[in-house]
Amino acid sequence: MEPKHRLDMKGISIEFPGVKALDQVDFSVQSGEIHALVGANGAGKSTLMKILGGAYGHYQGDIYFDGKKVDIRYPADAKALGIDVVYQEVDTALIPYLTVAENIMLDKMANEMKGKHFIRWGDIHRSAQEVMKQVGIQLDTHTLVQDLTLAQKQMVLIARALATNTNFLVLDEPTAPLSQTETEELFRLMRDLAQNQGVGIVFISHRLPEIFEICENITILRDGKVVAETTIDQLTQQKLVELMLGRRFEETYPKMQAPIGDVIFEVRNLNEEYGRVRNVSFSVRSGEIVGITGLVGAGKTELCKTLFGAYPIQSGEILLNGKPLKMKSPHAAVQQGVALVPEERRKEGVLVEEPVFVNLTLPSLDRFTRGPAFVDTRAERATARQVIQDLGIRTPSENQKVAYLSGGNQQKVAVGKWLIADAEIYIFDEPTKGVDVGAKHDIFELIGELAKQGKGVIYASSEIPEILDISDRIYVMYDYAIVKEFETSEATEEAILFYSAGGQQ
């Protein structure tokens, strides 16, 4: 058994341009505990953990390790105390063209090779092997990280954290990209680390059942302040949501009933050039929300991108109002009335370095030009303000850089830009990923509104309850193909899971 440690953050405050992200926050965690940190988008969870990990040095307040005051200003300070943070965006922390072994041993190679200059490759692979055995993952250490799945990358990151001496491990929304079995695997590992190796774990997640399943203690943040710190058995899911949002909340999303018309969008025997979509046929009627579900890696994102012209089509047809579409590029797709809200919001959905209004008008800039091609920024800003109001985007003004908005509000921007563009078919790829319940509700309402206007909506998600809540019809994908179609009224979570997992009748 490792010695017990205790970590206390006291009176932590931090500001970013225009926002006070954290205000006098206290947070404690000790060895052997799994501590949940929850809050709505923009509550300050990730910020607090970035401070703990040394990524933000300009905070105020104190941090104590075993009661002794410590100064964490750089990542190296945190590492020295055995604090490791596995951030949300796994790809930014891994080096894609290095092997699994090199990525796992990266910290060790970077920090513990003072005075040594030659690498013993045998040792690197052996040590990586050992850590992986401890974590319980089976991978060839010679595999390049770019060839791994998201879940495997996450495991590699956790393994890297454990390769060095780890007292505290922060997992920032680790389960967001994981399938059910992968999540269970992760939980098994977390329990093992906490109980048998005395690691203190901070767990951030938007999925409430998970928190109740795995955590003992919980700290709830709202608007940069701690609103509650308690043990999990004192709470119900309902109560937790109320604390997060500061208001009462209806648990289910009342499905808006839009009149469903004729088929407006049809896909016939679609195959993608590299086999990432296999012989897919389906249709969408006007006013209809069609759910596409399946496990992570089943090919939902690939289908969405192919429908949007972002992946090359090998064969098959896509028809809108009976007319075949030419999907050579996303540009062509937009011109023909198809819109996509992509899964990777920060990389693909919004331009974080640009202000909100530039993001919102981007796909429809033609409508805001005068003369040959002069942009009418006044009209642009006016429309942007309208959308900000309609969608309840929380931002000081339309001129704020999107980087300074919270995840949920960034997502609203990613959706909002297509509302201005006025498409016929809207494709949503995991629109609620990393979005809190409040913003999720707003996004659902928005999608319902689109359906009411007679648009066709394709809603891809691996969150089966969500799909059951919002869709009229459901297609289940497995291994890049559609394997089952349900009327939502006749579908159950169990049945969908059965087909998602490759079950056949």
Partner 1 sequence: MSTATESASKQTWYSSLVAFFSKWGTIITIIALLIFFSATMPSFRTGSNMVTIMRSISIVTVIATGITVSLTVDGFDLSVGSVATFAVALIMSFFVWYGWGTIPAIIVTLLVTLIVAVVNSFLIVKLRIYDLLATLATMFIFEGVAMTYTGGGSISQGMPRLDGTPTTGTIPPEFRLIGQSPYIIIIMLVIVTIVHIFLTYTKHGRYLYIVGGNREAARLSGIPVNRYRTLAYFLSTLLAAMGGIMLGARIGSAQINAGAGYLMPAVAAAFIGFSVAGIKKPNAIGTLIGAILVGLLENGLIMMSVPYYSLNIIKGLVLAIALAITYYRKHD
Applying CB under 8 A, which residues contact partner 1? 11, 56-58, 60-62, 308, 310, 329-331, 333-335, 340, 342, 347-354, 358, 362-363, 365-366, 369, 372-375, 417, 421
Q: What are phi and psi of 87, to 5 degrees?
A: -75, 165
Q: Check: CB of residue 125 under 8 Å from CB of residue 141.
A: yes
- Range 452-484 burial, b when 16+ CB lie within 10 A, else e: eebbbbbbbbbebebbbbbbbbbbbbbebbbbb
Q: How far is CA 395 from the centre of its chain?
A: 21
Q: Please state the closest distance from residue 351 (CB atom) to partner 1, in A.
A: 5
In the complex with partner 1, which residue's Cβ is closer, 183 or 359? Answer: 359
In the complex with partner 1, which residue's Cβ is closer, 12 or 468? Answer: 12
Q: Which two tokens stand for residue 70?
A: 């410590």
Q: What is the DSSP string of 430-455?
A: STTTT--HHHHHHHHHHHHHHHHTT-
SS3 160: helix
Question: Which has the closest alpha carbon to 100: 141, 60, 72, 136?
Answer: 141
Q: Please state the closest distance from residue 406 (CB atom) to partner 1, in A.
A: 17
In the complex with partner 1, which residue's Cβ is closer, 308 or 475? Answer: 308
Residue 369 CB partners (closer than 8 Å, separation 6+): 375, 376
Q: Please state the closest distance from residue 456 (CB atom) to partner 1, in A.
A: 18
For residue 49, give the amino acid letter: M
SS3 209: helix
Q: Please state the closest distance from residue 342 (CB atom) to partner 1, in A.
A: 5
Count of other CB atoms within 10 angstroms of residue 223 = 15
Q: What is the DSSP string of 235-279?
A: --HHHHHHHHHTS---SS-PPP-----SEEEEEEEEEETTSSS-S
In the complex with partner 1, which residue's Cβ is closer, 344 or 390? Answer: 344
In the complex with partner 1, which residue's Cβ is closer, 17 or 122? Answer: 17
As a whole number of angstroms, the distance between CA 202 and CA 193 comes to 12
In the complex with partner 1, which residue's Cβ is closer, 199 or 421? Answer: 421
Q: Please state the closest distance from residue 63 (CB atom) to partner 1, in A.
A: 12
Residue with tokens 């759910």, as numbered in its chain: 291
Q: Please state the closest distance from residue 368 (CB atom) to partner 1, in A.
A: 8
Q: Please state the closest distance from residue 372 (CB atom) to partner 1, in A.
A: 7
Q: How far is CA 330 from the centre of its chain?
A: 23
Q: Please state the closest distance from residue 326 (CB atom) to partner 1, in A.
A: 14
In the complex with partner 1, which residue's Cβ is closer, 407 or 448? Answer: 407
In the complex with partner 1, which residue's Cβ is closer, 227 or 403? Answer: 403
In the complex with partner 1, which residue's Cβ is closer, 88 or 179? Answer: 88
Q: Please state the closest distance from residue 441 (CB atom) to partner 1, in A.
A: 25
Q: Check: CB of residue 426 under 8 Å from CB of residue 442.
A: no
Q: What are phi and psi of 76, to 5 degrees?
A: -65, -35
Q: Please state the closest distance from residue 91 (CB atom) to partner 1, in A.
A: 13
Q: Please state the closest distance from residue 331 (CB atom) to partner 1, in A.
A: 4
In the complex with partner 1, which residue's Cβ is closer, 250 or 353? Answer: 353
Question: Which has the closest alpha carbon to 339: 309, 318, 365?
Answer: 309
SS3 163: helix
As a whole number of angstroms, the distance between CA 505 and CA 501 comes to 12
Q: What is the DSSP letter of 144?
A: B
Question: Which has the closest alpha carbon to 364: 437, 286, 416?
Answer: 416
Q: How far is CA 39 from the centre of its chain?
A: 15
In the complex with partner 1, which residue's Cβ is closer, 99 or 301? Answer: 301
